[in-house]
Amino acid sequence: METILIKTDPSSPGEAEISRAADIIRNGGLVIFPTETVYGIGGDATDPESAKKIYAAKGRPSDNPLIIHIASPEEAEGYAVTCPLYYRLARAFMPGPITVILEKKDIIPFEVTGGLATVAVRCPSHPVANMLIRLSGVPVAAPSANVSGRPSATDAATALSDFDGKVDCLIDGGDAEFGLESTIVKITGDDSLLLLRPGAVTADALRCVCSDVKISDTVERAVGEGERPVCPGMKYRHYAPAKPLALVGGTKKERLEFFLRAAENENCVFICYDEQAPFLPRERTISLGSEKDLLSQGHLLFSALRHADVLPGERIYANLPPRKGLGLALRNRLIRAAAHTVVNAKEKLK
């Protein structure tokens, strides 16, 4: 199939061009589109055949459910059972980078939810995503636009490199703002939430709306063989570059010393911070921005993981991010990209 390319102004997309893409979704086709988190690969969330096409294009296991995207928070009523806490979250964070797990209604097929009785609902703030959903007239099921297991695409060219000829249409709306997928929460009581996937809406921000926010241990822990986690996606290796990646923990000084020693003794690539980059070999170093600038790190992380694969070097080292604020989202993605390989700089320097 030939993939139709549509380039649009991300802040004020043209209705005529986006309706072309919306027609494709309504007719059972697949469209890659930008959101404020990452690019998504979308199809009609009420159509089991569209869901099957998404799984096939991504090479994704069909027990790993899809998120449905809606144009306004109230639209959730048509597809899921809402509650007052859902609307408190909606008032605080929607449209925006948050996904809420709710009990599904019959109109959403089990093909979309991977057989679960719940459905993940998200209302993106990106003007292109919003217009596409509105003009489609259906909820849009959309996982991140990456071949299963690879880092998510945060720009159109990367999405196209994974899916050219495998989807009907791609809308190029520039770089994704946050670069990390949405925060996923499950409502577990009138005033309690379980954080399943950290994102730009941080645990502290959630605590301003809900008094009991627990963080799922699968955010950092490896999921065991045969285990069924609340968030099925957590059991799969994800975000991974092709080269082995190890995360380095320790103080600022210990991490830099570890990197300097590795630069001398090993054939490796560094994903590091601006403060470290001047001391490391330029042709094998990628910086995510300042150590203090977590937004920049989130924005650049996935492209850095892909870029590290094409630089000369057999393995990749990166810093282990802190748990605070947006750091938890970076830490979650990196730990999974590294298949839980974390080294203690101090131990290794002994």
Under the rule (CB under 6 A), what is the footprint of ligand TXA? 35, 37-38, 40, 64-67, 99, 101, 113, 116, 118-120, 122, 124, 142-144, 181-182, 184, 196, 230-233
Residue 116 CB, shortest distance to ligand TXA, in Å, is 5
The piece of 96-104, 110-118, 143-151, 203-211 that touches Mg ion (CB under 5 A) is 143-151
Q: Helix count (H) and strand count (E) of the chain?
A: 11, 17
Residue 58 or 186 with smaller CB distance to Mg ion: 58
SS3 279: helix
Encoded one letter per residue, x for contact with Mg ion by CB under 5 A and - for no contact, window 103-142 reads ----------------------------------------
Residue 144 or 303 with smaller CB distance to Mg ion: 144
- In this structure, is the dihedral angle defined by the CA atoms of residues 57, 234, 325 and 291, taken in order, positive or negative? negative
Residue 148 or 296 with smaller CB distance to ligand TXA: 148
Rounded Cα gap, residues 126 and 178, in angstroms: 11
Residue 235 CB, shortest distance to ligand TXA, in Å, is 9
Q: Quick check: 144 binds Mg ion (CB under 5 A)?
A: yes
Instruction: Name which of 174, 134, 125, 169 is nearest 153 in CA terms.
Output: 174
Rounded Cα gap, residues 196 and 102, in angstroms: 13
Binds 73, which of Mg ion, ligand TXA, none (CB < 5 to 8 A, cut-off by type)?
Answer: none
Contact criterion met (CB below 8 Å) for 116 and 93:
no
∠343-330-255 over CA atoms, to 5°?
A: 35
Q: Backbone phi, then psi, for 49, in 5-degree steps?
A: -65, -40
SS3 296: helix
Residue 143 CB, shortest distance to Mg ion, in Å, is 5
Q: Compute the residue count for the chain.
A: 350
Binds 31, which of ligand TXA, Mg ion, none (CB < 5 to 8 A, cut-off by type)?
Answer: none
Residue 304 CB, shortest distance to ligand TXA, in Å, is 18
Residue 67 or 268 with smaller CB distance to ligand TXA: 67
Q: Which tokens is 154 given?
A: 């945060």
User: How far out from the chain centre does Cα 220 lie?
Assistant: 16
Q: Which tokens is 250 given?
A: 């320790």
Residue 124 or 313 with smaller CB distance to Mg ion: 124
Binds 201, which of Mg ion, ligand TXA, none (CB < 5 to 8 A, cut-off by type)?
Answer: none
Interface contacts to Mg ion, rule CB under 5 A: 144
